[in-house]
A and B are shown apart, each in its own frame.
Chain A
Amino acid sequence: DAKTTQPTSMDCAEGRAANLPCNHSTISGNEYVYWYRQIHSQGPQYIIHGLKNNETNEMASLIITEDRKSSTLILPHATLRDTAVYYCIVRVVVADKLIFGTGTRLQVFP
């Protein structure tokens, strides 16, 4: 079972920041938080990951709370092409697999 909970859906206006929350209250100290997204009819795409520090790359920023029980993915300037299902995943390192939950369906509108 997935170890994360996310809202089912969110809307965001084009050009605005999209903030996608994720709860992972049972996360272990050595587990990373990963974010992937799946655009319609495509394979999942890696976005970003982090352990406890905030992370930023060319796609997004990841903010992890100090207690690591939740995180937020930030798309700073959402575009229509960011419309997708976003998955927050806690990596089960020992078992070497990603367990996908139901994700958040982000709809970016003009």
Chain B
Amino acid sequence: DTAVSQTPKYLVTQMGNDKSIKCEQNLGHDTMYWYKQDSKKFLKIMFSYNNKELIINETVPNRFSPKSPDKAHLNLHINSLELGDSAVYFCASSLEGVANEKLFFGSGTQLSVL
């Protein structure tokens, strides 16, 4: 079974549309994250949630709204998509409260905004 799974793997859409990316982890972790990897391959954290509560929000536009229905899921909803939103989005999870915890990443969702 995949530890951190994201859907869809590919997402192609028009500017102005609203789309969602889903993420689920079956590791029993407390903390989940969204990272964005742009065309230059820089990986940047966007959000982190711990037990359904927002912990980190890295000045991401409010068009991006993460939603955590339970600690095993962290979905990313994006309103009014823009060309600059095109990137690969990675979900990750970790066990909270451990100083040397490690992150487990999903395989990514490649978003292309046309």
Write the residues of chain A forming the contact surface with B, with a CB cutoff of 8 angstroms: 30, 32, 34, 36, 38, 41-46, 49, 51, 85, 87, 91, 93, 95-100, 102
Contacts of A38 in B (CB 8 A): 43
The answer, among B56, B96, B102, B108, for a CB contact under 8 Å with A42, is B108
Measured between alpha carbons, how far is A43 from B92 in the docked complex, in Å?
A: 9
Nearest B residue to A97, CB-CB: B45
A32–B45 touching, CB < 8 Å: no
Kindly identify which residue among B41, B42, B56, B106 contacts A96, using a CB–CB cutoff of 8 Å.
B56
Min CB–CB distance A43 → chain B (angstroms):
3
What 11 additional pairs, Cβ within 8 angstroms, besides A32-B100, A85-B41, A96-B55? A36-B103, A42-B107, A42-B108, A43-B4, A43-B90, A43-B105, A43-B108, A44-B92, A91-B100, A97-B45, A97-B56
CB distance from B18 to the nearest CB of A (A): 25
Chain B residues at the A interface, C-beta cutoff of 8 Å: 4, 31, 33, 35, 41-45, 48, 50, 55-56, 90, 92, 96, 99-100, 102-108
* Chain B nearest Cβ from A103, distance in angstroms: 8
Given A32-B100, A96-B31, A100-B43, A45:B105 Cβ within 8 A: yes
What are 24 A-B contacts with C-beta separation under 8 Å?
A30-B99, A32-B100, A42-B107, A43-B4, A43-B105, A43-B107, A44-B43, A44-B92, A46-B104, A51-B100, A87-B43, A91-B100, A93-B99, A95-B56, A96-B31, A96-B56, A97-B45, A97-B56, A98-B45, A98-B103, A100-B42, A100-B44, A102-B41, A102-B42
Q: Using Cβ atoms and an 8 Å threshold, which residues of chain B touch A46?
A: 102-104
The prevalent SS among residues of B at the interface is strand
Please name all residues of chain A whose beta carbon is closer than 8 Å to the beta carbon of B56 when the two chains form the complex. Answer: 95-97
Whether the Cβ atoms of B48 and A97 lie closer than 8 Å is: yes
A41 to chain B: closest CB distance in Å? 7
Contact in complex: A96, B48 (CB < 8 Å): yes
Contacts of B43 in A (CB 8 A): 38, 44, 87, 100
Q: Which are the 4 A-B pairs with shortest beta-carbon distances?
A: A43-B105, A100-B43, A46-B102, A44-B105
